[in-house]
C-alpha cells in the first residue's frame, strides 16, 4: 500500500465516515475474493455507516455478494 496515495485519498474525504470507509477499503479489498475478508469488509462498513438492517442487506447484495458468488462459480 502506497502511503502517499493513501494519504491523498484520506485527505480528499471531508467526513470521518468517508475516511474510515477509505481505510477499510484499502485494507480489505486487496484480499478479495476471500470470503473472510468480504464478510469482514461488509461488517466494518456496517458499523461505520450505522445502517438499518434493510439498508445493510441492500448494500451487501449490491456490493459484496458478487465477490462471494464469483468465488463459488470458480470451484466448478
Q: Strands of the chain (E only): list them.
A: none
13, 42 contact by CB (below 8 A): no
Contacts from 44-51 at CB under 8 Å and sequence distance 24+? 45/21, 48/17, 48/20, 48/21, 48/24, 49/17, 49/21
Digit-coded pLDDT (tens) for 18-67: 889 999 998 998 988 888 999 999 999 999 988 888 998 998 899 888 88
Quote the Cα angle for 63-68-74, to 5°. Answer: 130
Predicted confidence at residue 1, as pLDDT, reads 59
What band does 73 get if pLDDT is binned at 50, 70 and 90? Answer: low
SS3 of residue 33 by DSSP: coil
Specify the number of domains making up the chain.
Answer: 1
Predicted confidence at residue 10, as pLDDT, reads 76
Residue 74 has pLDDT above 60, yes or no: no
What band does 72 get if pLDDT is binned at 50, 70 and 90? Answer: low
* Segments forming the whole domain that contains residue 7: 3-74
Amino acid at each position: 500500500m502506497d502511503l502517499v496515495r493513501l494519504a491523498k485519498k484520506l485527505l480528499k474525504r471531508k467526513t470521518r465516515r468517508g475516511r474510515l470507509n477509505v481505510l477499510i477499503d484499502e485494507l480489505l479489498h486487496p484480499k478479495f475474493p476471500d470470503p473472510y475478508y468480504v464478510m469482514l469488509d461488509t461488517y466494518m462498513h456496517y458499523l461505520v455507516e450505522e445502517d438499518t438492517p434493510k439498508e445493510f442487506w441492500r448494500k451487501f447484495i449490491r456490493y459484496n455478494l458478487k465477490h462471494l458468488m464469483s468465488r463459488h462459480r470458480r470451484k466448478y
